[in-house]
Amino acid sequence: MKFGGTSVGSSDRIKEVASLITGRGQNIVVLSAMSGTTNTLVEISDYLRKRNINGAKQILNSLEKKYSATIAMLFSEVDYRMEADEEIRAIFSHIRALCHDNFSDVDEKEILAQGEMMSTTLMYLYLHERGIDAAFIPALDYMKIDADGEADTEYIREKLRNLLDESPAATLYITQGYICRNHLGEVDNLRRGGSDLTATLVGAAIEAQEIEIWTDIDGMHNNDPRYVEGTTPVSELHFDEAAELAYFGAKILHPACVLPAKVGNIPVRLLNTMAPHLPGTLIYNTDRSGCIKAVAAKDDIIAIRIKSSRMLLASNFMHRVFEIFDNYRKPIDMIATSEVGVSVTVDSPLKLEHIVDELKEIGTVTVDTDMVIVCVVGDLEWHNVGFEAVALKALAGIPVRMISYGGSNRNISFLIKKEDKIAALNALSATLFPSH
Ligand code: ADP
Ligand code: ASP
Ligand code: MG
């Protein structure tokens, strides 16, 4: 069971989660940092990078006050309150010790890890105050990424199982989401929103019956509720549909978190902490559905067009294009080809200058920034006549830079300008889900 930032965002919410996790058999509970904490820790790190130590310390002081207030409201027994105060104070002292002039990437990751350290400490002590004998499983003792930033699943499985064996009688095991160690043994993280990935990696490692991701909304909605009104939850998704939606911007799930569950064939349920009785979304190996399920959008996309220097594509032109991206380990999201060239998209400017320089040796290159991928997901098997036409029709009034269809049976993607995103998402909902 994984609980996100809002779900543990106040003393009342922590109490609510404590009730949700008890009386439901043996469970591993993965917690995010309390909402706002990781953002604040990022802000503190930004000040430290700019060598503004006073600025960092001021923000840290007000964050510490918030935690003191939470502790005062969470615990009713003096002993537990004192212990919580002491442990949280030790974490803040640790962060203060990292506020120095030679602030490094390693220090930053150490700071970012403290949010999950604090939320799990509070939950653990609160459960004990309520007389629930939960065990603590430190994520830094089993969660690991390799030199490429990929989860080391064998290591995780072995270490986690050993740790669980140390407390065989416990019914609840509390652990931190998001944080891990890297191949050098340093503290690292699974990137923003990474607690979802912790949950699926843990679920896969122990071959869980089911993985529950508890958040602040009643499941995966059919469009992004931050931009479209009247969206509704999708009751069932295939693993591949959920993976596409997560990868292409549905913030409810970390972009990479579906794969471990899919590989282990473990159903994932998305549930709402604020309304726990609602069914939410079930993600599993479901059959084809014959309908379009949902729409998502991924921001900050860069499109690169490479026109071959020769009129007809030389036979190894494509190979050379992809080799350049590959040499820089740069993943490509969308591709469109023609007789004379190819357009691709990437999701960050990292190393792009070098890539473009090399691409210029084989063709004429144009780069468009501030683009958005809008991804329509569902049963888009090509024999389903007309499905892609409906999506296309919805976008009739919007300039579309690229279209990608046929790469899988589950998705059609459109590349549009950032300023057209909200209009595109709303137009798609109006056409694809007209009753809502
Ligand atoms: P948590 O802190 O629990 O991990 P997140 O903020 O990461 O929660 O994810 C939940 C949020 O994702 C929702 O509040 C909602 O605003 C956003 N979201 C974006 N797209 C979708 C979608 N298709 N369905 C549901 N929520 C979505
Ligand atoms: N606390 C981390 C973040 O805010 C991880 C998570 O919430 O999943 O990104
Ligand atoms: Mg999240």
Neighbours of 54 (CB within 10 A): 8
Contact 33, 184 (CB under 8 A): no
Residue 240 has a pLDDT of 96
Check residue 73 and give its pLDDT: 98
State the pLDDT at residue 435.
75
Binding site membership of 32 for ligand 2 (Cβ less than 6 Å): yes
Cβ neighbours of residue 274 closer than 8 Å, sequence gap 6 or more: 216
Name the residue at shortest CA distance from atom 16 of ligand 1. 226
Distant-in-sequence contacts of 66-74, Cβ < 8 A, 24+ apart: 67/92, 67/118, 70/10, 70/11, 70/14, 70/34, 70/122, 71/11, 71/122, 73/10, 73/11, 73/12, 74/11, 74/14, 74/15, 74/122, 74/126
Q: Which of 146, 156, 248, 256 is nearest to 203 (CA)?
A: 156
Q: Where does the pLDDT of residue 91 fall: very low under 50, low under 70, confident under 90, or very high at 90 and above?
A: very high
- pLDDT band at residue 193, thresholds of 50, 70 and 90? very high
Give the per-residue pLDDT at 223.
98
For residue 313, the model assigns a pLDDT of: 58
Query: Hey, which of 192, 215, 283 would you mutate to test ligand 1's pocket, going by the most ligand atoms within 8 Å of its Cβ?
Result: 215
Cα–Cα distance, 336 to 330 (Å, whole number): 17
312 has pLDDT over 60:
no
The predicted pLDDT at position 76 comes to 97
Our answer on whether the CB atom of 195 is closer than 6 Å to any ligand 2 atom is: yes
pLDDT digits (tens, 9 = 90+) for 135-167: 999 999 999 999 999 999 999 999 999 999 999
Q: Which ligand 1 atom lies nearest to the CA of residue 245?
A: 23
When pLDDT is averaged across residues 280-293 and rounded to a whole number, the result is 90
Sorting pLDDT into bands at 50, 70 and 90, what band is 314? Answer: low
Average pLDDT, the chain: 95
Q: How far is the CA of 425 from the centre of ligand 3 (A)?
A: 21
Per-residue model confidence as pLDDT tens digits over 14-39 = 999 999 999 999 999 999 999 999 99
- What integer is the mean pLDDT of 59-87? 98
Please state, in angstroms and rounded to a whole number, the distance separating the CA atoms of residues 370 and 377: 23
Q: What is the mean pLDDT of residues 207-228?
A: 98
Q: What pLDDT score was predicted for residue 311?
A: 58
Q: How many whole angstroms separate alpha carbon 178 and alpha carbon 435?
A: 38
pLDDT of residue 382: 85
* Gap from CA of 315 to ligand 3 centroid (Å): 44
Please say if the pLDDT value at position 295 is more than 80.
yes
Least confident of 116-125, 206-215, 307-316: 307-316
Residues 398-425, mean pLDDT to the nearest whole number: 96
**Centre of ligand 1 from the C-alpha of residue 86, in Å:** 33
Least confident of 4-8, 140-144, 290-294, 349-353: 290-294
Please, which pLDDT band fits residue 339 given cuts at 50, 70 and 90?
confident
Compute the distance between CA of residue 114 and CA of residue 122 in angstroms, rounded to an integer: 12
For tokens 């004192």, the residue is 82
Q: What is the pLDDT of residue 354?
A: 97
pLDDT computed for residue 374 by the predictor: 98
Residue 400 has pLDDT above 80, yes or no: yes
Residue 322: the pLDDT is 95
Percent of the chain with pLDDT over 90: 91
